[in-house]
Structure 1
């Protein structure tokens, strides 16, 4: 999908935008819990929302035993995420996922496998998942992934900067990464499970956007706690505040722990309630997942046939 808005440029470092913010965890948790309790999507509307979720998935493999063959199979699923008989029953044209996300060395294999599909290749970089390699090496990793054909780069921040309140250092680091990304869109992974407080999550989100991040992303998927609704709500409130101040649109990506169709619906409801329908499109919303697609396809089959199938009928690849 080609965005209908200018790309993020960021702003100068402005601590006044976040210094005084304190997030009430109890209130955030109460608001997050109310979202799915007060809202539900049923029948054909649920199927439509799940189809939207498919187009927003960053289909991901980030395993130590990744091979070109595994990546090629994942890319085949990205090209055709739903079985043709299900699309025919719904009267739909073929669709694709939002992107395929891999390690830098797997980028050229993914690029070849996705040629002509329109599906972009995203790559994690900057010492993923810890982000504790020296900054010059992290910047070089971005250059490598972009040079191999990655159209999107998922960077990780230095959590130490957040935990010690070194906000200008965090801004400088992310701005340097954005500069090296060039035309590739940058998603800033905040690793929110490591940031201790929701106030830190809000401040890190704001700094990342000021530094030019095209998306802010919850997690690497490797932390003990990954994407949660209270954390996502906090990030979306920061995103909304930033957009109100600057007029610049920023995307959001939850990742880690989203495995079921019910999870996808919960985050779509959050996007709808907090930011509106426009932010439910793949140029502003992505879901980082590896196993989620199989459950969504299973739910779509239930909508079409009235029967639940075994999970192994909807293998990822």
Structure 2
């Protein structure tokens, strides 16, 4: 699909942001001035790329790359320190019997369990992410959201996954959403900010594109499809639209932003489809955990099983790897 670059694209993100975020009307004018998404074309291209297959050595490399991009996550009301420690042990050594298996990119927990996770992964290179801002609904005051973020960062979180106010976005109050992201980004300090769009509630691909640009203009380091609590979540067409957005944002502003599809990615085949989509849409510069993540804890066991099949020629039983 064609890329979109603003006329006079060398101004940089700060100048562009100052221009378009001066008022809700200006922000609305910019976002609604983005080219509309050809839904039929996006669906068709995503379906076509989803048929690509990867064989032999390249498949092994793709599996290891996908493992290294996983954000291993537990976000349940019944989470305990013991469960978090067990998850962190798996994140650091996904297959304890094989030290060649790469570690995952990050673990993701609620703010009150950040300190436990930080201690458990210390020295491993695995990042600790925390959902904040009244996850997953985002229905709270800005003061509460900022406090939630600050507490997670103070506990040692390297990354914060925030949710946008979808109600405000769908009502056209783009400036409120923008200002909340700016405030949360400021509260993050040195921690990276992933902005969750909850694409399953945005209704149209045009809204996904607008929300992607809004999040990037406000300072998000990553744009993320979903909380994993709403369906549909990380579909191929939605991820395609977001990858086009980060590609075009880089061309327009010179700032690179990552992408994280989350929810519904369950098999090695699903993960590899995502890698193909990244390579063919944004380019191989995004094929790194710094720029692409898979929010898909359930996919890790399948990746490990497929990797072991590559090594031994046979599958292990379903209980060989720890359950998530």
Q: TM-score interval w.r.t. the shorter chain? A: over 0.9
Give the length in aligned residue pairs. Answer: 303
Contact 2:196–2:227, Cα closer than 8 Å, also in 1: yes
Query: In structure 2, the residue corresponding to 1:18 is in which secondary structure?
Result: helix
Offset at residue 261 of structure 1 (A): 0.6
**Does the 8 Å contact 2:246/2:282 carry over to 1?**
no
Find the residue that maps to 1:65 and give its secondary structure: coil
Q: How does 1:42-81 map to 2 (within 5 A)?
A: 42-81=55-94
What's the counterpart of residue 164 of structure 1?
171
Contact persistence 1:295–1:311 (CA under 8 A): no
Match of 2:18 in 1: 12
CA distance in 1, matches of 2:200, 2:220: 19
2:49 to 18, 27, 35: 35
Report whether the alignment pairs 1:179 with 2:193.
Answer: no
Q: Is the contact made by 2:64 and 2:102 (CA closer than 8 Å) also made in structure 1? A: no
Per-residue Cα deviation, 1:204-232 (whole angstroms, up to 9, x for no partner): 00010000000000000001211101111
Alpha-carbon offset, residue 123 of structure 1? 0.2
Q: CA deviation at 1:51?
A: 0.3
Q: 2:53 is paired with a residue of what secondary structure?
A: coil
Instruction: Check if 1:110 corresponds to 2:103.
Output: no
Aligned to 1:96, which of 103, 111, 114?
103
Instruction: Kindly indicate whether the alpha-carbon contact (under 8 Å) linking 1:159 and 1:195 is maintained by their aligned counterparts in 2.
Output: yes
Q: Deviations over 1:243-271 (max 9, x none)?
A: 11011110000001111111110100100
Q: Which residue of 1 is the match for residue 285 of structure 2?
A: 278
**Superposed CA RMSD:** 1.5
The superposition leaves residues 94-126 of structure 1 with CA deviations (integer Å, 9 ceiling, x where unpaired) of 631100000001101101111111211100000
Q: Offset at 1:150?
A: 0.4
For the residues of structure 1 that align with 2:230 and 2:257, how far apart are their CA atoms?
24
Alignment pair present for 1:256 and 2:263: yes
Deviates most, 286-295 or 202-211: 286-295
Q: TM-score, normalised by structure 1?
A: 0.92
Q: Work out the CA distance in 1 between the residues paired with 2:277 and 2:119.
A: 35
Q: Give the aligned partner of residue 8 of structure 2.
A: none
Aligned partner (choices 207, 210, 214) of residue 200 of structure 1 = 207
Per-residue CA distance 1:155-205 (angstroms, 9 max, x = gap)? 000001221122222111111111111100000000000011110110000
Aligned to 2:24: none
State whether residues 11 and 212 of structure 1, in contact with CA within 8 Å, keep that contact through their aligned partners in structure 2: no
Runs of 4+ in 1 over 4 A off after TM superposition: none
Corresponding residue number in structure 2 for 1:4: none
Is the 2:67–2:300 contact (alpha carbons within 8 Å) kept by the matching residues of 1?
Answer: yes
Q: 1:299: which partner in 2?
A: 306
Instruction: Using structure 2 for the length normalisation, give the TM-score.
Output: 0.90
Tell me how far apart the structure 1 counterparts of residues 278 and 112 of structure 2 sit (CA, whole Å).
Answer: 33
